[in-house]
Amino acid sequence: MEKTETLQADAHYAKASPQMKNEIARRRTFAIVSHPDAGKTTLTEKLLLFGGAIQVAGAVKSNKIKKTATSDFMEIEKQRGISVATSVMGFEYQGRKINILDTPGHKDFAEDTYRTLTAVDSVIVVIDVAKGVEEQTRRLVEVCRMRKTPVIVFINKLDREGKDGFDLLDEIEQELGLRVRPLSWPIGMGQRFRGVYNLYEQNLVLFRPHGKQTEEDTVRIDDLSDGQLDAHVGTSLADTLREEVEIIEEVYPAFSREAYLEGELSPVFFGSAINNFGVRELLDCFVEIAPAPQPRQAEERVVHPHEPKFTGFVFKIHANIDPRHRDRIAFVRIVSGKFARNTNYYHVRQGRNLKFSNPTSFMAARKEVVDEAWPGDVVGLYDSGNFKIGDTLTEGEVLHFKGMPSFSPEIFRFVDNADPMKYKQFEKGLDQLMDEGVAQLFIKEDNGRKIIGVVGALQFDVIQYRLEHEYGARVRYEPVNLHKACWVTAEDEAALAEFVKRRHKDLARDKHGRLVYLAESPWMLKMAQENHPDIHFHFTSEL
């Protein structure tokens, strides 16, 4: 199978135009993931600084400098200091087109992050040097390992006291199941932090806590026995570095780009994102070794990036990126071919053609219209309600891209309109926010009451905040005692009718009109399954 795919890929590559080959080869599309507070959004911003995409950390389109991160553009994110929606940012660096997807770190928004991982070709995992591997990092890396996504690790906050470098490497290998190879190594830590030795480029990068590394801070040292090392960092730290680098060369495998691209070896870098330190080394190595856009598995076949015809899939929908314009945007990852503005493309689920007059590229909340885009790029399509997460666009072929996860909710509340004068705003806001996939709406069959189900409780606050500030609607939540929502189907119509009759008070419809059983407890669910053997209970919903 793999040999056939390789032959197909080679054939498509051979036929591709020189422009397409060049555009695909220079693209790098990746996500930055971590546990909350590891410094993920700060690292994203510093990569943008080095890429020249922004001039000042925290800069937004206006001339004012704001203290919130560039990629956190929703008002609630600025207030709470957490990322709750995936941001997409593109910039040019050393002749490459870099597409960064900054993801929510908070576990209550994991679903958004898991979907984002379907749209990238590689991942940078950020780990706090003091806290080491944390719960959310484990979950996210597990998804990357399942998909064999190449992973680079950035150990952050070296300007603070933290864990020993070798202990951290052991922890990453044991906790995350990654085989690691350090490509830079710290000299001291916290108050004694002097810099890192770049094993990939064989040079010493000196740390100056002024937040702006310059070329003069980099010293070429090919041989660690060079007396220059002692002069720059002191004899004690220089001797420690020599010993530790010797251990690295003996214990850890030599770096192999092939092993990294197969997801079998993870390079590790050390730095301090808040001080801009170690970021350039990470970026320079990343653009050199990271994969260009990769093939994607559809239900029907594997789709290769160099194929001449355009294909892409929706992995995220976001309402009100600009609340003044009430815009709703579908984020589409381009898989193959060239996407062109004002061209008819086939919406597979709806079975009809759509044309897009103002597709956009992103620099966080800043948007600009693009005339064309290539595999690896993410374009935003203005949407009046045509798209759902997982939808496919093609030039006519029927394709369904796989691997778009959706979770059964775990926490439930009744939701009511708290302002009778704002009923339309409440209905519209709820409808659009549910389309984003951060929560699921169920309407009870017996009394028509609305229930919102979420994976994490913080999502209730976000929904309430956004309904009020983006739609002018106020909501009231009430507790509801539910254990699980599961979708029900049956081949036997009589059995389904009997089930509906007997369980009417426990049934609801989801946003798409599908029948859902709301179980009050694990015991109730077990009894329903035993008493209705002809009914299929589904714990995931294919969006």
> Per 3-state DSSP, what percentage of the chain is helix, strand, and coil (rounded to 5)?
35, 30, 40
If one compares 150 and 463, the residue with the highest pLDDT of the two is 150
| Cβ atoms within 10 Å of 356's Cβ, excluding its own | 22
Contact 534, 490 (CB under 8 A): yes
If one compares 200 and 397, the residue with the highest pLDDT of the two is 397
pLDDT digits 0-9 by tens, 222-254 = 777 878 788 888 888 889 999 999 999 999 999
The whole-chain average pLDDT of the chain stands at: 83
Predicted confidence (pLDDT) at residue 168 exceeds the cutoff of 80: yes
Q: Domains in the chain, ordered, with CATH?
A: 27-185+202-289 (3.40.50.300), 296-394 (3.40.50.300), 411-538 (3.30.70.3280)
pLDDT digits 0-9 by tens, 433-481 = 887 776 889 999 988 999 998 877 777 888 888 888 888 899 999 999 9
Mean pLDDT over 384-389 rounds to: 82
Q: Across the strands, what pairs with 220?
A: 203
Q: Which residue has the tokens 């546990």?
A: 35
Measured CA to CA, the distance from residue 531 to residue 500 in angstroms comes to 13
pLDDT band of 541, cuts 50, 70, 90: low
Tokens of 351: 């079975």
If one compares 59 and 129, the residue with the highest pLDDT of the two is 129
Contact 42, 17 (CB under 8 A): no
Calculate ∠ Cα 446-450-455, nearest 5°.
Answer: 120
Least confident of 282-286, 358-362, 455-459: 455-459
Measured CA to CA, the distance from residue 47 to residue 98 in angstroms comes to 10
pLDDT of residue 260: 96
Predicted confidence (pLDDT) at residue 82 exceeds the cutoff of 50: no
Give the residue from 133, 169, 140 showing the smallest Cα distance to 31: 140
Contact 263, 270 (CB under 8 A): no
pLDDT of residue 73: 44
Predicted confidence (pLDDT) at residue 392 exceeds the cutoff of 90: yes
pLDDT digits 0-9 by tens, 123-143 = 999 999 999 998 778 878 887
| Cβ atoms within 10 Å of 393's Cβ, excluding its own | 25
Tokens of 71: 């990629």
Measured CA to CA, the distance from residue 120 to residue 175 in angstroms comes to 23
If one compares 179 and 60, the residue with the highest pLDDT of the two is 179
pLDDT of residue 350: 92
Where b means 16+ CB within 10 Å and e means fewer, 401-417 reads: bebbbebbbebbbebeb
